[in-house]
A = this chain, B = another copy of it.
Amino acid sequence: MNEDSSSGKQRLREKIRGATASAILEAGEAVFAEQGLNSARMDDIAARAGVAVGTLYNYFADRTALIAALVDSRRDELIHRIDKALASAEELPFQKQLEVFVMAAFQHFKTHRPFLTILMEAESAHLTTAKPRDSVRALFERCEAVVARGVQLGAVKADTLVDYAAMLHGCLRAVFTRGRICGDPVDPTPENAAALVEFFLRGAGSSG
């Protein structure tokens, strides 16, 4: 947090904000999502970005660093979106807050489906960087925060046997994964978000 490191970080940020770097990240997002985190070749990413392979290495130290930067930049966006949504909904009743949270996730799913494909692959894959794992954790932590707030507000049970945060995370993931398994993705509509929240809070059991 001293000036040196901060200005170093600053320079990195500037670099990444540059048009070429962005093009590379976008190309990486597309190619990694299409071909898989392990199979995608640097050549293909370069070609998609419209630059030479060598250029990739002017912006990112190596393949791993490119993936890390990609994950970093996209995660920030997701986390910001969710945090903003949560902040704006702070005064609403908990169920609404949860719906807003889920909607934010849904919308991000829709915008960054390729990125999420990467992230889910990264979640389980064995990678040299911890970055992707960290990103997954970032979403997981928001789930924990939301659930914690729910508990605090008395809207969520304080169960010690089931980790509701993990369940929420699993349900979000399931919504996204469903498309891949069934070939029939869920639309990010408020109705769907509300229905998911309803399930999360009241369960799948018939009320009888």
Which residues from chain A sit less than 8 Å from chain B, CB to CB? Answer: 34-39, 117, 120-121, 123-127, 133, 136-137, 140, 147, 150, 154-157, 159, 161-164, 166-171, 173-175, 177-178, 180-182, 186, 191-192, 195-196, 198-208
How many copies, total? 4
Residues of chain B within 8 A of A191, CB atoms compared: 161
Residues of chain B within 8 A of A164, CB atoms compared: 199, 204
CB distance from A16 to the nearest CB of B (A): 16
CB distance from A75 to the nearest CB of B (A): 15
Residues of chain B within 8 A of A199, CB atoms compared: 159, 162, 164, 167, 203
Contact between B174 and A167 (Cβ–Cβ < 8 Å)? Answer: yes
Contact of A124 among B35, B121, B168, B208 (CB under 8 A): B121
- Closest-by-CB residue of B relative to A141 is B181
Q: What is the interface of chain A mostly: helix, strand, loop, or mixed? A: helix
Pairs A–B under 8 Å by Cβ, sample size 27: A34-B126, A37-B126, A39-B126, A117-B124, A121-B125, A124-B124, A124-B177, A133-B181, A137-B181, A155-B205, A156-B206, A157-B206, A159-B195, A161-B192, A162-B192, A162-B199, A163-B174, A163-B186, A166-B182, A170-B170, A170-B175, A173-B173, A173-B174, A200-B203, A201-B203, A201-B205, A202-B203
Closest 10 CB pairs of A and B: A170-B174, A36-B126, A201-B205, A203-B203, A161-B195, A38-B38, A202-B203, A170-B170, A121-B124, A120-B124
